[in-house]
Amino acid sequence: MALEALFSSDATYGKKALIPRVQKFIGGSAPIYPGTNAPYTVATTIDDLLTLRNKFAHGDVVPPVFLATPADPSVASTNVKSYADVLREASTTMLRVCMLRILQDRLIDTFSDKTKMEQLL
């Protein structure tokens, strides 16, 4: 929901806003697990992440396929057992990278004004 607050506007919201804007802002190839061989990137997880977010927002459960799919062995651990866990970590990784860029590039004013944000992205 934090990503949605950053990248949505009155005109464009949900997947139509987040998928292209997050990928443009931090890069679709940005890894979810930097320094590992894990295949997860912003581009490969964002659609599923938003599907999971929508399930939660509408009071539904985690899609069974997300729970049944094991995490890549390079990141599997006590806390990361399934693809659903990977998506949880993808959300925090994407938000962290976005917030760091906003702060480092001094884009607070841009993201405080949806018109400026849309012009940037």
pLDDT tens digits, one per residue of 30-50 = 999 998 999 999 999 999 999
Give the domain extent around 59: 2-120
CA dihedral 83, 39, 88, 108 (to 10 degrees): -160
Give how many domains the chain has, as a whole number: 1
Q: Quick one: three-class SS letters along the chain? A: CHHHHHHCCCCCCCHHHHHHHHHHHHCCCCECCCCCCCCCEHHHHHHHHHHHHHHHHCCCCCCHHHHHCECCCCCCCCCCCEHHHHHHHHHHHHHHHHHHHHHHCCCHHHHHCHHHHHHHC
Q: Please list the pLDDT of the chain residue by residue as tens digits (121 residues).
A: 788 888 888 888 888 888 999 999 999 999 999 989 999 999 999 999 999 998 988 899 999 999 999 999 999 888 899 999 999 999 999 999 999 999 999 999 998 998 888 888 8
